[in-house]
Every structure is written in C-alpha cells, then in structure tokens.
Structure 1
Amino acid sequence: MKILTTILISACAILVFPAACNPALQKDATEHNPDLPVKKESAKIERYGMITGLKSEKLAYYKALHAAVWPDVLKKIAECNIRNYSIYVKEIDNKPYLFSYFEYTGNDFTGDMKKMAADTATQRWWKETAPTQIPLPDAAAKGETWTAMEEVFHYD
C-alpha cells in the first residue's frame, strides 16, 4: 500500500507541479483542471525614499500634525496610488532630519503627483508642514522640499 501511495503522489506531483511553477504551462493545465491555482501577475510597485531637514523648534508641531493627519489628505494620498507611507525622524549632528518611505502602485507617477499638488486640502496641509522643514541644497535649488534617495538594496 505504501508503494502504491508513493507512486500516486509522485504521479500527481509530476502532472501538477510543472504547471504551478511555469506560467507558460498554466493555461493548458487550468483548461483541464480549473481548480489549479494560477499565479496572478503582481502589481508594479515603485519604492521611494526621501529626505529633508526639520527645524528643531518645529519638531513637536510636526509630530502633532502627523498624529492626526487630515482625512482629506489621506484620501488624496490613496487616490494618487501611494501605499505603505511612513515618515521617520532622526537627529544627526544635533539636527533633525525626516526620512519618508512610500510605495507607488499607479502607472503615471508624474500625473498623480500633479493631481495631488492641485488638491486644495493637500495645499493647505503643505502650508502647515513646509515652514517646519529645511530642504537639502539639491531640493532647494529646484524649489522642492524633499530629496529623493537612491535605493541600493531591497528584499521582499
């Protein structure tokens, strides 16, 4: 009986496993067995790390703002395909810096950022946050607040 069970399990593995691992075989395999799982194409995710300075005397205010982000601002962030958004603060040489990380899942980053910038709630929010921040020289030269950082490693 053990030998028969082993043979049956091996035969099933030979028939099913290649289709589960090879997308080219999935269509043929699922036509004959619709219960087989088909690996779906995952959404494209672009990861962004940004940095800016923060005025020491504005740290408490900045934290208070972000402890209760306005619902309209959060809604616009989501509408612009930004997910998993975090902001961290770190003091370096007695100066606070902000580091942000987010994932973009849309297809038109520039267009979505323009849509966000045109939003009146977001504009009001930025009027609150901008005076707390100190752009790094490269961002300041372009009239921006945040400087993009280069991703050098990622692991899922």
Structure 2
Amino acid sequence: MTGPDRREPGAEVPLKFALMLGNVSGDDADDVLREFADQVLTEHGVPALRAEVEALRAAAAHVTEYRIPCPGHRLGVGADLIVQRMPTEDRWAIFNPNLDSPHRVWTGAQYERIGTDIYRREGFRWTRQEALDLAPGLAEQETARDRAWFDAVRAGRTPR
C-alpha cells in the first residue's frame, strides 16, 4: 500500500510525516513517532519485532539495579555509581560506593548516609527515570572528585 502518507520498505521518510513533525510540539512528538512506528511495523509485517520490544519493556520493569560508569575514574568499573530500587516500593536511590561509607545516597544537594544522616525513605526519593537522568552527571563529578583527591595525595598534600 503506497500513497503520500505511506512508505515502501527502504523509502525516505514521507514528506507528510516530516511536515507533521515540524508542526508538532515537543510534548506530542513521542506520540507522533510512536504512531508512525506502529504504522510502519504493522504495514511491513514486523509483529515479531513489536513483541520483542514489548518483552524488553516488561523485563525492564523487573530491573532493581543499574550501574553507572564514572568515565575516566582510576578504579574503572569498581567506581560505578549504583542506581538501586527500594525493595518495597518503586522509589530509587543513587549510591556512591566510593565514599567513606558505601551507604551514601544522593539527596539532591549532597551524599548522605542512610540510617545515620537520613531515613531510608528519604534516600530512595527518585523515580527510576529521575535517578537515571541524574546519575551520569554525578558520575562525572565523582571522577573529578577522585582525580582532585589523587592529585593532592601525589603532591603530598593532605586530601579532604
């Protein structure tokens, strides 16, 4: 089936779709793209791909921990920040195991110890997406903190 709003396999994105995206707000763009993807998948016989995507989405709902690499950190994968789900609720925390207590979580302003400085519920304050959005920036900050500490040790200064 072809026409101005349909595409053959391997064809360019239809002009109508490109124009449609130009007139769509950012909030609606995901819906438009999803609708277009559904149309392409349905028309070109790729229901198996759709089932695979849905299976991956369902599996992602069961993930309880993500490891976020600290790029360039001298400890490599041992320095990963940990985004972890609270076992009893869908609340997430960002742990930094590189600090003096591995139970320190990001509270939005600084790292605090769960159980000493704050209650567990306060530490698990993020949605999964919020935690995953924040963690890469925190990982870069952790690498910078570690480099400053290591440079101070090398220079013979007492690090803080």
Per the normalisation by structure 2, the TM-score is: 0.24
Q: Name the structure with the higher strand share.
A: 1
The structure number with the bigger radius of gyration is 1
Q: Which has the higher contact order (CA 8 A, sep 6+)?
A: 1
